[in-house]
Amino acid sequence: SSDLELRYGLLFRLRVDRDSIAAVRRAQPADCKFAVPRKSEATICIELGRPMNAERLFGITRAVTKVAVTPDDEAEFVRQLQL
Protein backbone atom coordinates (compact mmCIF):
# COMPACT_ATOMS: atom_id res chain seq x y z
CA SER A 1 0.00 0.00 0.00
CA SER A 2 1.15 3.54 -0.67
CA ASP A 3 -0.46 4.79 2.55
CA LEU A 4 1.16 5.32 5.90
CA GLU A 5 -1.15 4.74 8.84
CA LEU A 6 -0.13 6.18 12.18
CA ARG A 7 -2.20 4.81 15.00
CA TYR A 8 -2.09 4.96 18.77
CA GLY A 9 -4.96 2.80 20.01
CA LEU A 10 -8.25 4.70 20.03
CA LEU A 11 -6.54 8.01 20.81
CA PHE A 12 -5.05 8.82 17.40
CA ARG A 13 -5.32 7.73 13.78
CA LEU A 14 -3.91 9.37 10.68
CA ARG A 15 -3.78 7.86 7.22
CA VAL A 16 -1.41 9.62 4.83
CA ASP A 17 -0.75 8.93 1.17
CA ARG A 18 3.05 8.77 0.88
CA ASP A 19 2.91 11.36 -1.91
CA SER A 20 1.61 13.82 0.71
CA ILE A 21 4.75 13.49 2.84
CA ALA A 22 6.92 16.56 2.25
CA ALA A 23 9.82 15.59 4.54
CA VAL A 24 11.00 13.06 7.12
CA ARG A 25 13.66 14.33 9.48
CA ARG A 26 14.96 14.26 13.04
CA ALA A 27 12.40 15.84 15.40
CA GLN A 28 13.12 19.13 17.14
CA PRO A 29 11.42 20.23 20.40
CA ALA A 30 9.08 22.55 18.45
CA ASP A 31 7.82 19.53 16.45
CA CYS A 32 6.47 17.87 19.57
CA LYS A 33 3.27 19.94 19.73
CA PHE A 34 1.61 16.90 18.18
CA ALA A 35 3.56 13.78 19.15
CA VAL A 36 2.47 10.15 19.01
CA PRO A 37 2.41 8.87 21.70
CA ARG A 38 1.60 12.08 23.48
CA LYS A 39 4.29 13.50 25.79
CA SER A 40 6.87 11.14 24.35
CA GLU A 41 10.37 12.19 23.40
CA ALA A 42 9.73 12.01 19.68
CA THR A 43 12.70 11.30 17.45
CA ILE A 44 11.28 11.57 13.92
CA CYS A 45 9.14 14.35 12.42
CA ILE A 46 6.89 13.70 9.42
CA GLU A 47 6.03 16.94 7.62
CA LEU A 48 2.99 16.87 5.39
CA GLY A 49 2.61 18.83 2.17
CA ARG A 50 -0.89 19.91 3.18
CA PRO A 51 -3.03 19.82 6.32
CA MET A 52 -4.60 16.42 6.91
CA ASN A 53 -7.25 15.40 9.43
CA ALA A 54 -6.15 13.15 12.25
CA GLU A 55 -8.93 11.29 14.02
CA ARG A 56 -8.90 11.42 17.78
CA LEU A 57 -11.00 9.88 20.52
CA PHE A 58 -14.78 9.98 19.90
CA GLY A 59 -14.25 10.82 16.21
CA ILE A 60 -12.95 14.31 16.89
CA THR A 61 -10.66 15.45 14.08
CA ARG A 62 -7.75 17.85 14.09
CA ALA A 63 -5.88 19.22 11.10
CA VAL A 64 -2.16 18.51 11.30
CA THR A 65 0.76 19.48 9.08
CA LYS A 66 3.43 17.57 10.97
CA VAL A 67 3.50 14.68 13.39
CA ALA A 68 6.38 13.66 15.64
CA VAL A 69 6.75 9.93 16.30
CA THR A 70 8.98 7.54 18.24
CA PRO A 71 9.51 4.41 16.12
CA ASP A 72 11.22 1.40 17.68
CA ASP A 73 13.64 1.18 14.74
CA GLU A 74 14.22 4.71 13.47
CA ALA A 75 16.50 3.78 10.57
CA GLU A 76 14.08 1.16 9.21
CA PHE A 77 11.09 3.49 9.65
CA VAL A 78 12.80 6.23 7.63
CA ARG A 79 14.03 3.72 5.04
CA GLN A 80 10.52 2.37 4.50
CA LEU A 81 9.15 5.88 4.00
CA GLN A 82 11.78 6.59 1.37
CA LEU A 83 10.91 3.53 -0.78
- Residue 35: its pLDDT value, please? 78
- Residue 1: its pLDDT value, please? 53
- Residue 8: its pLDDT value, please? 87
- Residue 40: its pLDDT value, please? 77
**Distance from C-alpha of 71 to C-alpha of 14, rounded to nearest angstrom:** 15
Mind listing the pLDDT tens digit for each residue in 27-77?
988 877 777 777 778 889 999 999 999 999 999 999 999 999 999 999 999
Q: Which DSSP string corresponds to 5-39?
A: EEEETTTEEEEEEGGGEEEEEE--GGGGGGEESTT
- Residue 14: its pLDDT value, please? 94
Averaged pLDDT for residues 23-27: 92
Task: Answer yes or no: are the C-beta atoms of 65 and 48 closer than 8 Å.
Answer: yes
